[in-house]
């Protein structure tokens, strides 16, 4: 029978996870709606309300894979205890608080990953080099891929020979097609379904012969979703290009906020995977609900102030560069969720903003600022490992666990 010390550590770890989720909801989930506010498509308070709901939903139905990676894939040979989880989450939250206070964009994924690796090594675990290799390759590819996609998107939107009644709906079609294939835990997977997405579910319900491993029905559903999205935004842009762009910004902000919740919640809940699953015997949805609650509270309580600041920045960027920054954010976030890789939305969005700026002739893109940001990200990763390692050792020396 667990004693009072065990339950005290459970409560402490849970509160720390909630605090981390709150910080993520207040900070990491805010950028997606900033362009819509800057374009006057939605008010600040409406955006904060929508961010909370959408990010919490994303956390519930998409957060499992990254939570499992953070909780069990970063270290070999040991399980993350409640005390170790507390030390890791306190380290990560401290870095995020430092970023808010100083104005430096601290990547939450870097801080959390480093902190959990640090406490895991302090527990006596062995480095999970295969996982690190996958994560580092993905992180290294984010800036060029996000920047490249943003550059292509901004270039398309700037072309005089491609009217906005075509270019904006084309981007909406791409987003709609991806939405049909995103993995959602609430969608059941029939025996023949390849994945629990809308397209995968329908492909599994109706048996059709595959060609080169591709189900033609899944392709048809994807094309249908793209066509519906194209027609919806095209109708709006025909009525008024400004109205169509504002509508697309609002829809794009919604799906990116949803994706942000799914990709970020695991940073807060992952360290508690062993505690809630193996030790307490609770289903994974309970832990994800805890993280979703923290993200919801953070968005509603802390996002409005940040939204007002970031919306002014996006208003200066303009709606086209804002769209160019958010489209890669959605694509990369969903890819990371599918692969179970923790990511930083700061990394994605900043890279997208840079790529969109280069499409306009590199205006507003500071090489010095890029270099400082990259160096700060690297420092965050390394120092979070060291601090997480030392903080757990200090906790264990004081509490004997």
Q: Which residue has the higher pLDDT, 107 or 167?
A: 167
- CA 289, CA 258: separation in Å to the nearest integer? 15
Residue 1 has pLDDT above 60, yes or no: no
* Assigned domain for 246 exists: no
**DSSP per-residue letters across 297-364:** HHHHHHHHHHHHHHHHHHHHH-HHHHHHHHHHHHHHHHHHHHHT----HHHHHHHHHHHHHHHTTSTT
- CA 24, CA 31: separation in Å to the nearest integer? 12
What is the number of structural domains in the chain?
1
* Assigned domain for 189 exists: no
Describe the chain by its helix, strand, coil percentages, rounded to 5.
80, 0, 20
* Assigned domain for 214 exists: no
Q: Which residue has the higher pLDDT, 88 or 193?
A: 88
pLDDT digits (tens, 9 = 90+) for 234-284: 999 998 888 888 889 889 889 988 998 988 899 999 999 988 988 888 888
Lowest pLDDT segment from 38-52, 303-317, 339-353: 303-317
* Assigned domain for 253 exists: no
Mean pLDDT of 13-20: 91
* Assigned domain for 200 exists: no
Mean pLDDT of 13-32: 83
Give the pLDDT score at 192: 46
Q: Which residue has the higher pLDDT, 247 or 26?
A: 247
Give the pLDDT score at 39: 66
Q: Which residue has the higher pLDDT, 194 or 103?
A: 103
Give the pLDDT score at 130: 93
Residues facing 127 on adjacent strands: 75
CA-nearest of 69, 65, 57 to 186 is 57
Q: Which domain holds residue 346?
A: 4-148+263-399
Give the pLDDT score at 317: 65
Task: Please report which confidence band the pLDDT of residue 231 belongs to, taking 50, 70 and 90 as the band edges.
Answer: very high
Task: Please count the other Cβ atoms lying within 10 Å of the Cβ belonging to residue 379.
Answer: 13
Task: Please report which confidence band the pLDDT of residue 351 belongs to, taking 50, 70 and 90 as the band edges.
Answer: confident
* Assigned domain for 314 exists: yes
* Assigned domain for 201 exists: no
3-state DSSP call for residue 63? coil
Neighbour-count burial of 114, counting CB atoms closer than 10 A to its CB (0-12 exposed, 13-18 middle, 19+ buried): buried
- CA 84, CA 118: separation in Å to the nearest integer? 9
Residue 72 has pLDDT above 80, yes or no: yes
* Assigned domain for 175 exists: no
| Helix locations, 240-283, DSSP H | 241-269, 273-274
Alpha carbon 157 to its chain centroid, in Å, reads 25
Mean pLDDT of 320-346: 86
pLDDT digits (tens, 9 = 90+) for 166-207: 999 999 999 999 999 888 877 765 544 445 788 877 777 777
Altogether, the residues listed in the chain come to a count of: 401
């Amino acid at each position: 029978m667990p004693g009072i010390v065990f339950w005290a550590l459970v409560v402490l770890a849970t509160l720390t996870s909630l605090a981390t989720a709150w910080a993520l909801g207040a900070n990491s989930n805010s950028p997606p709606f900033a362009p819509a506010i800057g374009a006057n498509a939605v008010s600040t308070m409406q955006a904060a309300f929508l961010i909370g709901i959408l990010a919490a939903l994303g956390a519930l139905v998409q957060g499992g894979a990254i939570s499992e990676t953070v909780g069990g894939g970063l270290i070999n040979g040991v399980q993350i205890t409640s005390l170790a989880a507390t030390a890791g989450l306190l380290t990560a939250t401290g870095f995020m608080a430092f970023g808010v206070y100083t104005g430096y964009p601290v990547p939450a994924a870097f801080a959390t990953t480093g902190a959990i690796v640090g406490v895991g090594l302090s527990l006596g675990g062995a480095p999970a080099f295969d996982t690190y290799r996958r994560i580092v390759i993905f992180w290294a590819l984010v800036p060029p891929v996000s920047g490249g996609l943003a550059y292509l998107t901004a270039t398309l939107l700037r072309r005089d020979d491609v009217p906005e009644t075509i270019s904006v709906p084309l981007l909406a079609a791409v987003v709609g097609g991806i939405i049909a294939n995103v993995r959602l835990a609430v969608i059941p997977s029939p025996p023949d379904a390849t994945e629990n997405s809308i397209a995968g579910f329908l492909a599994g319900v109706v048996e059709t012969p595959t060609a080169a491993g591709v189900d033609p029905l899944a392709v048809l559903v994807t094309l249908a979703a793209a066509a519906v999205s194209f027609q919806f935004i095209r109708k709006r842009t025909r009525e008024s290009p400004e109205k169509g762009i504002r509508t697309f910004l609002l829809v794009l902000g919604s799906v990116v906020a949803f994706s942000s919740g799914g990709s970020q919640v695991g940073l807060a809940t992952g360290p508690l995977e062993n505690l809630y699953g193996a030790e307490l015997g609770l289903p994974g949805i309970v832990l994800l609900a805890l993280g979703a609650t923290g993200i919801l509270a953070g968005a509603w309580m802390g996002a409005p102030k940040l939204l007002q600041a970031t919306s002014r920045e996006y208003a200066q960027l303009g709606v086209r560069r804002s769209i160019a920054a958010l489209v890669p954010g959605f694509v990369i976030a969903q890819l990371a969720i599918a692969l179970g890789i923790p990511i930083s939305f700061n990394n994605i969005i900043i890279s997208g903003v840079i790529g969109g700026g280069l499409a306009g002739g590199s205006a507003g893109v500071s090489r010095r600022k890029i270099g400082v940001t990259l160096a700060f990200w690297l420092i965050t990763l390394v120092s979070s490992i060291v601090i997480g390692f030392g903080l757990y050792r200090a906790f264990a020396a004081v509490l004997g666990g």
